[in-house]
Amino acid sequence: MTDADGADGAERVDGVDPHRAERDRSLSSAGTDLSGSDSAAPGAADRDLPDPAPREAMFELRDVSVRRGDKLIVDGVSTSIGRGRCTALVGPSGAGKSTLLRLFNRLDDPSSGEIRLCGTPLPGLDVLALRRRVGLVGQRPVLVAATVREELRVGRPKLADTAAEELLAKVGLPAGMLGRETAGLSGGEGQRVCLARALAVEPEVLLLDEPTSALDPEAAESVEEALTGLLRGGLTAILVSHSAEQVWRMADHALVLQNGKLVEDGPVAGVAYLRVKTLRSGS
C-alpha cells in the first residue's frame, strides 16, 4: 500500500511481519479460511469513451467513514460502483484510497455508514463467501504454494488442469507453466499467476491495489495487458493507482479522494484531477 496516512499504513503494525500479513490477506481474499486451517490523454484515442448512462450498481456506499483515533481517514463517502466497468480510486498519497479499497471485501470495516453489494449490506454476508465474490490483487505478487498448479488451487482445490490452463491463457501465460515452481517466477509472471489465482474462484469483482507499481516496466506492461483484456470482457474492477496514464488506459470511471473526502466522481474523460496530473507529468 502506498497511501501514507495513518490507516493506509496501519497494516505495518509494530510486532507484525508485514510480509506475513500480506500473505494472509492474499489467502483470505482467495476465500481461504485462516482461522484454523489533458483533453488528449495517453491511450484515450485507443479506447472507447465511458458510457455516461447510469449502470446497475455493484456497490453502494452511504456516508462511509473510517476513523483512526482522532483522524478521519475516509470521511462521509457516498457513491456507487457500476457493474461491468473499471472504477479508479485516485488522489494524492494519504487521501484514503487503499483504506477505502479494503472496505469492499471487509479486510477493514467502516467506523460508520454502510456499504451494500448488489443491495445487501456487507455485514449480512458470510465474509469468506464475500471474498470469493470480491477478489484482491495486491501491489506485489504473494505466492503461497510450491507450484503454479497448486497456487491456482488455493481457493479452488478441485480445479482441473484444463481449467487451470484456460486461466493461464487469460492472463497471457503458457499452459506449460502449470508445473513450474513459483519460487522461480519473475515478478511479472508471479503477478499474473496471482491474478489467475484470483480469477479461479470466479469473482464478480476484482480489487486492484496498484497491481503494477512494484514491477519493472516490462513486467508492469505484461500485467496491465492481461488486466486490460479482462476489463474489455466486462469484468467489474476497482483500481487504486497513482498513475494517471494507467487510469486513462484502464478505467471508465474515477473517484477522486482528498483528505478522505470524495471531491470528484465521474467518467475518466471528465475528471479534472486526472487532466491536471497528466499535464504536470508532461505526458
**Within 10 A of 214 (CB to CB), how many other CB atoms are there?**
15
Q: Is residue 269 part of a domain?
A: yes
What range does the domain containing 111 cover? 55-142+203-280
Query: What would the pLDDT profile of 8-40 be if each residue is shown by its tens digit?
Result: 444 333 444 444 455 455 555 555 544 333 444
pLDDT confidence of residue 280: 72
pLDDT confidence of residue 277: 84
Q: Measuring CA to CA, how many Å separate 274 from each of 22, 112, 242?
A: 30, 29, 10
Residue 103 DSSP symbol: H
Strand runs labelled E in the chain: 57-68, 71-82, 86-90, 112-117, 120-121, 134-137, 205-209, 236-240, 253-258, 261-267
Yes or no: say if 180 and 148 are a contact pair by the CB < 8 Å rule. yes
- Report the CATH number at residue 101: 3.40.50.300
Q: Is 210 left (phi over 0), alpha (psi -120 to 50) or beta?
A: left
Count CA atoms within 13 Å of residue 158 on its CB side: 0
pLDDT confidence of residue 14: 41
Q: Is residue 198 part of a domain?
A: no
- Single-letter amino acid code for the residue at 150: E
- Coil/strand/helix, residue 124: helix
% of the chain beyond a pLDDT of 90: 70
pLDDT confidence of residue 261: 97
Q: Is residue 253 part of a domain?
A: yes
| 279: confidence class by pLDDT, cuts 50, 70, 90 | confident
Contacting residues for 271 by C-beta, under 8 A, at least 6 apart? 90, 254, 256, 264
Q: Is residue 80 part of a domain?
A: yes
Q: Is residue 30 part of a domain?
A: no
Query: What would the pLDDT profile of 55-113 be if each residue is shown by its tens digit?
Result: 689 999 999 999 999 999 999 999 999 999 999 999 999 999 999 999 999 999 999 99
Q: Is 80 exceeded by the pLDDT of residue 54? A: no
- Residue whose C-alpha cell reads 493506509 in the numeric block: 8
| 278: confidence class by pLDDT, cuts 50, 70, 90 | confident
pLDDT confidence of residue 202: 94
DSSP string, 258-275: ETTEEEEEEEGGG-HHHH
Query: What would the pLDDT profile of 168-196 be if each residue is shown by its tens digit?
Result: 999 999 999 999 999 999 999 999 999 99
**Within 10 A of 230 (CB to CB), how many other CB atoms are there?**
16
- What are the beta bridge partners of residue 135? 206
Q: Is residue 152 part of a domain?
A: no
Q: Is 90 exceeded by the pLDDT of residue 204? A: yes
Total domain count, the chain = 1
- Helices of type H across 96-213: 97-103, 127-133, 148-152, 161-170, 187-200
Which cell numbers hold the place of 235?
Answer: 469484468
- What counts of helices (H) and strands (E) characterise the chain? 9, 10
Which cell numbers hold the place of 201?
Answer: 474462484
Q: Is residue 22 part of a domain?
A: no
Dihedral of the alpha carbons of 164, 198, 59, 57, in degrees to the nearest 10:
-30
d(CA 216, CA 244): 18
pLDDT confidence of residue 37: 37
Q: Is residue 191 part of a domain?
A: no
| 48: confidence class by pLDDT, cuts 50, 70, 90 | very low
